[in-house]
Amino acid sequence: MSKRKINNYFSRKDNDQSTNNQSVSNDPSPSSPNVPLETKRMNLVHEVVDTIESNYPYYERDPGKRPVIWQYPCDKQDEIRREYVGIGPYQPIYNYPLVDFKQQRRSFQFSWFIKFPWLEFSEAKESAFCFPCYLFDTPSLQQKKFTVEGFKNWKRVNCKNCPLKRHEGEINSHHSDSMQKWESLKNVSQHIDRKIVKESEKVVKQNRLLLKTSIRAVWWLALQGCAFRGHDESSSSHNRGNFLELVNFQAELCKEIGDIVLSKAAKNAKYIAPSIQQEILKINANLVRSKIRDEIEDAKFCILVDEATDESHKTQMTLVLRYVDVDGVVRERFMEVVAVDDTNSITLKTQICNILSHHKLLVENM
C-alpha cells in the first residue's frame, strides 16, 4: 500500500500571500478519484441546493424551519405557493441519522422520495413532511403531523398499516385535494391568466381574418370599378349589394371564413359597415399615391387637369400626372379628385398647389 503525503490533501500557497488570506481545507476535492461516489453525489446535490437557495433567498427550503402557509399575509399566499411549486419539495441526499426504536435503529430512506413524491425531509427536525399539505394547509384543516411537527416513526413505514399511506387517504381526503391543487398549480398552461391570453390571441386572429376578408372584397371592387352598396342590404334581401355578396362568396369557399363573418361575427366587430369600407378605400388610395410618388422621384412631370360636375351637382377637379419612370416608360397616373367651389383659374391653381405640396412634388419640375 503506497504512502500518501500531505500534499495529497493540502494545496501549496504562494509565499507572497499574506497570512490572513491563507486558508487550507482538509476536505478532499470532489473531482479527486479517491473521493467515494456517494460523497461526490452529496456535494453535487448541495451545490444545486445552494444555487436554488441563492435564487430564492426569501423562501425557507427546510420544512422544519418555515412558518405555516396561512400565517403569511392573505395577499402574499398565492405568490408564495407559486414560488414553492417552482422550487419543488425539499428532498436532500445525505447520511440520514439513525433513530432508536427500542432495540432497533432505523433511518429515513431516500427511496421513499420515489415512492411518495410529495414527501419532504427536514434536516433541522430530522423528520418527514408533506409538501402539498403544507402549500394548502388551513387553520381548520391543519395537518400538524406532516406540516408542523414532522413524522419520524421510520419503523412503521414498510408495515402493512403504513402511516404515509394512511396520510394519503382516500380520493376525497385532504391530502388528495392538496395533491390535485398542486398538480393544477404546476400546470402553467391551465392557469387563468394563460387562458385569458389564449382567448385574446384567438379573438385577435379571428378579427384579422374578418378584416382581411373585407379588404379583399374592397380591392376587387375597386379594381373592377364596381359599386359597393346595394339597394337593399337587409339579411332577407336576395341581393345585398356587391360588397356583402362578395364577402358571402368568400365565406362559401372557405369554412374558416364562413364561421366568423356576417351573421356569425360579433355585433361590434363585423368589419362590413360603410364607414369601414370607406376607411379601407382611403388607406389603399394613400398606398397607391405613395407608390406613384416613389416612381416619379425627382424627375420632370406634366399634369392633366379637368373638371366636371357629378350627379349631385358638385363641381370636382381631377388631377392626372404624366411622367417617365426609371425604366424609360411613359406613365399616366390618376392622382387625385377634389371638390372645388368653382372652376376659376385661381381656385384650380390653389387646389393644384395644395395637392403637389402634399405629395412633396416640386412645381419647378412640372
Q: What pLDDT tens digit does each residue of the chain (366 aa) get? A: 444 444 444 455 554 444 444 443 444 444 445 556 656 555 655 565 455 445 544 578 888 888 888 888 887 888 888 888 888 888 888 888 888 877 788 889 888 888 888 999 998 888 999 998 888 888 776 678 888 888 888 888 878 788 888 888 877 788 888 888 888 777 766 556 566 666 677 788 888 888 899 999 999 999 898 988 888 888 888 888 899 999 989 988 888 888 888 888 877 788 888 888 999 999 999 999 999 998 888 889 999 998 888 777 888 999 999 999 888 889 999 988 888 888 888 988 999 999 999 888 888 888
Q: Phi and psi dihedrals of 307, rounded to 5?
A: -130, 155
Where do the H-state alpha helices sit in the chain? Answer: 37-55, 74-87, 111-115, 131-135, 144, 163-168, 174-186, 192-224, 242-253, 255-258, 274-296, 345-358
pTM to 2 decimal places: 0.46
Radius of gyration of the chain (CA): 40
Asked whether the beta carbons of 159 and 106 are under 8 A apart, the reply is no
Question: Residue 126 — left, alpha, or beta (φ > 0 → left; ψ -120 to 50 → alpha)?
Answer: left
User: End-to-end alpha-carbon separation of the chain, Å?
Assistant: 104
- Confirm if 360 and 347 have CB atoms less than 8 A apart: no
299: which residues sit within 8 A by CB, 6+ positions away?
323, 324, 325, 365
Cβ contact 265:210 at 8 Å: yes
CB 185 within 8 A of CB 195: no
Cell of 327: 425604366
Map out the domains of the chain with their CATH numbers: 58-186 (no CATH), 192-272 (no CATH), 292-365 (3.10.450)
Query: Rounded to whole angstroms, how far apart are CA atoms 351 and 336?
Result: 10
